[in-house]
Amino acid sequence: MPSEIFEVKSTDLAGRIGRLQTKSGVLETPALLPVIHPVRQTVPISEISKLGFKAVITNAYLTLKNYGDSASIKGIHRIIDFDGVIMTDSGGYQVLEYGDLDVTIEKMAKFQESISTDIAVILDKPTGSKANKSFAKETVKATLKAAKETLSLANRKDILWTGPVQGGVFLDLIRQSAKKTSTLDFDIFALGSPTEVMETYNFQILSSMIMTAKKNLPLNKPLHLFGAGHPLTIPLAIALGCDMFDSASYILFARDDRYLTDAGTVRLKDLRYFPCICRICLSHTPKELLTLEKEERTNILALHNLHVLLKAVTESKEAIHEGRLWEHLGAKARCHPRLWNAFLSLGKYTDFFEEGSLQSKSKAVFFYGPEDFSRPEVLRHRKKLMDNLTFTKKILLILPEDEMRPLYKSPLCLALTAKKTELLENVQICFLSLSFGLIPIEVSDVFPLSQYESSLKPNTTVDFQHFMVEDVIKILEKSKFSNVILVASNTQHRTFASKIRKTVPTRLVKVDRSMSKTVNNIYEILQDLD
């Protein structure tokens, strides 16, 4: 295997499109790995492969218990009849469900190598989300011990080993576990024990768990999220930096006659029409499916559920490619109030997201509501405004935002600068944007200041954010402006002026229906200040 097994091709927020090199081929991430039962798999794996899944996960512990030493002769690819990438879980879920297993760390390490898996997982001790902190500490300690022992036993260089991070819902333990596990030579890292959190739709806790692990793990290696098989979870997890997922939800939901949609699950009996155009839904009606025998109905419904999950991954990948992951996640977040609350809390991770967001994109940035003020493009502009721009002129002239892009092409700006006069030589022209705050005219034609669309309108939808007032005051405090002229088109502009005039004397010019009158009023003040 090459020294660099993971290559990142595109990024947006903390999400990325990558290429993971395995001995069975390259796996493009983000990737969802359907859970395959090594003995009682009812949905044909050939059908799963036809849907487009290049990798699956199966259970090494169950394989050992059912096949014994003969599994080493056949190999895991022949056992489940799949020639793509196979990841094997060592039995951690069984530990969570039933307690300690009758197998050693050494046995599971050597067994996974013997069946020639592509990606192996150590025999960890999952925390679960219902554990108390004392037990959670034990699982972190036990998992770290198992990690060290497993790596010391690993002989094959062509198998990728996965190091789980434990700690449950205790963020300090996740941080501790991630930091210590990151010092070990794993090819892939994983966040364990999130399943129960996801089952209760506690997306805010899930976000905190993922980000705590992500910030304390190497960014040049993939992060796997165990048990993330829900269309609402996948876009959020991808945006937070998860590269791989696995889940048996497709079959578990199907056994319960639950039909996956982009927004969640629906009982099959409650559907009259299928809101999907996959081949399953085009060739059946809900009523027809309900008449089928249980196993046949379950398998057919499971294939549809896999289609929805794969669609969730593919849509997120395309959003990364287009630089629209924030917009995509925002749209998906409106499918459920708890997911929306998690989206609203993403502002605390903006610093981390800013590193993965491109400096320039081919698509415009969209603003739908105040929650979009937390997007990384806004933070980046504010940093540049405060740290990189130096203002040397005496008068700051602030013009209102206009729908014209770039802003210097707005009718008021063009009318103002059309006059060739020395009065403008000492004037710094800026625009007051409800989305970005203060925009100097010199940079108003660069991304994203020249490529954004907003539904936000002063006086009707939202006030100027407090940070925008603070930014302007900081600029006034460190600059040499002796006066500010603010052209006001509404009461919010006048309120804005009342806050900044405490720092620098500020004159107001009310926007008049007559453009020439507004321009003349500006020049009258400039002559008065000259």
SS3 368: coil
Residues 271 and 392 in one domain: no
User: So what's the pLDDT on residue 461?
Assistant: 59
Domain end point (choices 297, 330, 354): 354
Say if 517 falls within a structural domain: yes
Sign (positive or negative) of CA dihedral 28, 34, 35, 39: negative
Claim to verify: residue 247 and residue 369 sit in the same structural domain: no
Per-residue pLDDT at 209: 95
CA distance 67 to 319: 43
Q: Is residue 360 part of a domain?
A: no
395 and 467 belong to one structural domain:
yes
How far apart (Å, rounded) are the C-alpha atoms in residues 188 and 99?
25
311 part of a folded domain: yes
Q: Kindly state whether residues 239 and 373 are assigned to the same domain.
A: no
Beta bridge partners of 20: 6, 27
CB count in 10 Å sphere of residue 120: 26
Q: 95-99, 206-210, 349-353, 398-402: which range is least confident on average?
A: 95-99
The pLDDT value given to residue 196: 73
Distance CA 157, CA 481 (A): 64
Residue 298, in any domain of the structure: yes
Cα angle, residue 145 at apex, residues 140 and 150 outer, rounded to 5°: 125
pLDDT at 460: 58
Query: Is residue 1 over pLDDT 60?
Result: no
Whether the Cβ atoms of residue 246 and residue 240 lie closer than 8 Å to each other: no
Running DSSP on this structure, what letter comes out for residue 513? Answer: S
Last residue of one domain, picked from the residues 328, 354, 380: 354
4 contact partners, CB below 8 Å, separation of at least 6: 220
Considering the domain architecture, whether residues 389 and 508 belong to the same structural domain is answered as yes
Residue 98 has pLDDT above 70, yes or no: no
User: What are the DSSP calls for 257-269, one per residue?
Assistant: TEEEETTEEEEGG
pLDDT, averaged across the chain: 92
The model's confidence at residue 512, banded by pLDDT at 50, 70 and 90, is confident
**In this predicted structure, which of 191-195, 249-253, 359-363, 410-414 has the lowest mean pLDDT?**
191-195
Mean pLDDT of 216-221: 96
In a domain, 27, yes or no: yes
CA 467 to chain centre: 24
Whole-angstrom distance, CA of residue 178 vs CA of residue 220: 14
Backbone angle region of 81, left / alpha / beta, with phi > 0 → left and psi within -120 to 50 → alpha: left
Same domain, 153 and 107: yes
Q: Are residues 506 and 391 in the same domain?
A: yes
Percent pLDDT > 90 in the chain is 78
Considering the domain architecture, whether residues 291 and 420 belong to the same structural domain is answered as no
User: Two tokens at 1?
Assistant: 């295997």
Clarify whether residues 383 and 308 are in a common domain. no
The pLDDT of residue 450: 93
pLDDT at 491: 82
pLDDT of 95 > 80? The answer is: no
pLDDT, one tens digit per residue, over 61-81 is: 999 999 998 999 999 999 999
The letter for the amino acid at 251 is I
pLDDT tens sequence across 423-477: 899 999 999 998 999 999 999 999 999 999 998 876 655 667 778 889 999 999 9
CA-based nearest residue to 99, from 125, 74, 121: 125
Do 344 and 373 fall within a single domain?
no
Query: Distance between alpha carbon 149 and the CA centroid of its chain, in Å?
Result: 33
Provide the residue range defining the domain that includes 438.
365-529
pLDDT in tens, 116-154: 999 999 999 888 778 899 999 999 999 999 999 999 999
> Is the pLDDT reported for residue 398 higher than 80?
yes
Provide mean pLDDT across the span 91-100: 61
Q: Residue 462 has what pLDDT?
A: 66
Q: In which band, very low, low, confident or very high, does the pLDDT at 489 lie, cut at 50, 70 and 90?
A: confident
pTM: 0.93
Query: Does position 407 have pLDDT exceeding 90, yes or no?
Result: yes
Q: Is residue 183 part of a domain?
A: yes
> What's the pLDDT at 198?
79
Instruction: Give the whole-number percent of the chain exceeding pLDDT 70.
Output: 97
Q: Give residue-wise pLDDT tens across range 276-330.
A: 999 999 999 999 999 999 999 999 999 999 999 999 999 999 999 999 999 999 9
Q: How far apart are CA 406 and CA 290, in angstroms?
A: 57
Which CATH number goes with the domain that contains 178? 3.20.20.105
70-100 b/e (C-beta count within 10 Å ≥ 16 → b): ebbeeebbebbebebbbbbbbbbbbbbeeee
Total count of domains within the chain: 2
Per-residue pLDDT at 128: 79
Catalytic residue among 69, 83, 89, 262: 89
Handedness of CA 79, 1, 153, 176 (dihedral sign): negative
Pairing, β 427-433 against β 395-400: parallel
How many whole angstroms separate alpha carbon 431 and alpha carbon 383? 17
Catalytic annotation on 89? yes
What secondary structure, in 3-state letters, does 45-83 show? HHHHHHHCCCEEEEEHHHHHHHHCCHHHHHCHHHHHCCC
Query: Which pLDDT score is estimated for 103?
Result: 87
Written in H, E and C, the secondary structure of 77-115 is HHHHCCCCEEEEECCHHHHHHHCCCCCCHHHHHHHHHHC
Measure Cα distances from 521 to 104, 254, 495, 515, 524 in Å.
84, 70, 20, 10, 5
Is residue 235 a contact partner of residue 244, using CB atoms and an 8 Å limit? no
Give the pLDDT mean for 8-31. 97
Shared domain for 348 and 443, answered yes or no, is no
The answer to whether the CB of 215 falls within 8 A of the CB of 179 is no
> What tokens were used for 164?
């789980």
Spell out where 101-177 has E strands.
119-121, 160-165
Q: What pLDDT score was predicted for residue 129?
A: 75
Dihedral through CA 392, CA 398, CA 401, CA 404, nearest 10?
Answer: -60
- Domain end position, chosen among 319, 354, 389: 354
CATH code where residue 498 lies: 3.40.50.10630
Statement to judge: residues 245 and 332 lie in one domain: yes
Q: Is 359 part of any domain?
A: no
